[in-house]
Structure 1
Amino acid sequence: MNTGAAEKSAKSLALFVSDTHLTEASPRTTSAFLDFMANEATKTERLYILGDLFEYWAGDDDIESTYNRRILNAIRQLSNAGVAVFWVPGNRDFLTGDKFAVESGATFLPDLHGIAIGNQKIAVAHGDAQCLEDPEYVKFRMMVRNPQWQQQFLSMPLEQRKLTIESFRKDAKKENEAKSDNVWDVTASAIDEVFSQTGAAVFVHGHTHQPGLHEYGTCKRYVLPDWDLDGSQKRGGWLELTVEGTFVQHTVSQ
């Protein structure tokens, strides 16, 4: 009996995960993610990490911090084991660059990318670009995604960058408290554009922290959950594309 072939055929076609928001301050969430990488992620052909892997990323010169190196080593180990890892930066870690790609073994994808897997045509993105009800955030996103802004920001000393990011986060938290709930979700016109632009029948994204399945006639949109195993409202999970070509939503074990 060819056990190797049997094991390969038993693997899922792909897993999708996002918004783990990893940080040293969240040890249980970190442990859950590392367990996911060492177990569930080894049973698939492809892993798509769709942004906000980290709570924030100040630049690739921070790779050698003990914590960041631990996370990248887990991704590299999975890549070395033969799982194809794909990376779409999120609004917290869009400053990941070439060194991140080399050290993690992940292939960078643009933040809206169409892929064909099995019998499914899928669009993947982080999801913040489809949230258009908050003009202040749209303007901020355009600024920080500008290559010239990024080059100037990355020329600053690492510790100064971290302080600046903390300032951004504090300001955003104050502003967000006054905003209505609907600004956090995607807009209908943006979703229509995703399906039109990519020709996909399935759209997978994160960012909104409002996990679920939305149907648009023959098209479907899966929203990935954020992870938090350290707070009182424990949550987390991922999406699986099985060898049969169906999608299954999974929840992290508490």
Structure 2
Amino acid sequence: MIHSDTGTLPGGHPYASVGDGPRALVVMPGFGDAMFSGRYPPFSGLAIAPYFARYLDDYRVYVLSRPRELPPGYDEGDAVESHARAFEPIADSHDGVDAIGISMGGLIAQALARREPDPIDRLVIANSACRLDDDARSAVRQFERYAREGDWASIRSKLAAAMFSDGRAMAYPPVLQTIGRFVQPRPAEPADVWRSLEFILEFDGCDRLEAIDQPTLVFSGERDPYFTAELARETAAGLPNGQLELVAGAKHGAFHERKATFDSRVREFLERPYSTVLER
């Protein structure tokens, strides 16, 4: 039977893991991670196994949440310090570690790869870039106002419209604003939501991309309103060993909505020998 586990890693990071591969693939989720309890029920690893099925032959996959009760002024230094602690036992238990950072997780992954590079061999930045697009700042500030009012349904409904390019962009928002108000999980610590949003607004790593030496794939939707195609191109171009995959027509949820494309491209990237990735 495939191995799965849940628990908390150093630095207060809840996680769920699945797989028996010799290497570790650490998935660092987006901003929405702050909007649930932060506790993975037993057997959560088995529940996520189908989603990560294409990686399980070679990897043990860890979905690594951020700690609850983020400190006021949560910033890059705080994120790097706690994530570096969480990565230590993972690195010690596996032959190597690759990482996927999604949206806000992509911002943190960049900072970690730059400031504490040892644990990460290869990096995928999904629907993220070196900073938030200027035109998206007002939308993120609106999310922050919703968070301070405890209006989680409005955040989720607007996120859904920005993530999907198909019928879900129309169908999900009204459901989330009605039934979703009663069935969607609530944040364990409401302040974590607006502190995460403040982190996104403050983060700018565009002038420090050259310090990320790891082979890095930037995967983005061409219509992402938060981390635009222009920013994705700028990010990949600024990386010493950067590659870019832009998905035509996709928005902020390209990693999920176009998952077959995402998995194929990421697997191809991760399967190439390290020296070959560097030469590409």
Asked if these proteins are the same fold (TM beyond 0.5), I'd say no
TM-score w.r.t. the length of structure 2 is: 0.36
Q: Which structure shows the bigger proportion of residues in helix conformation?
A: 2
Of structures 1 and 2, the one scoring higher in RCO (CA 8 A, sep 6+) is 1
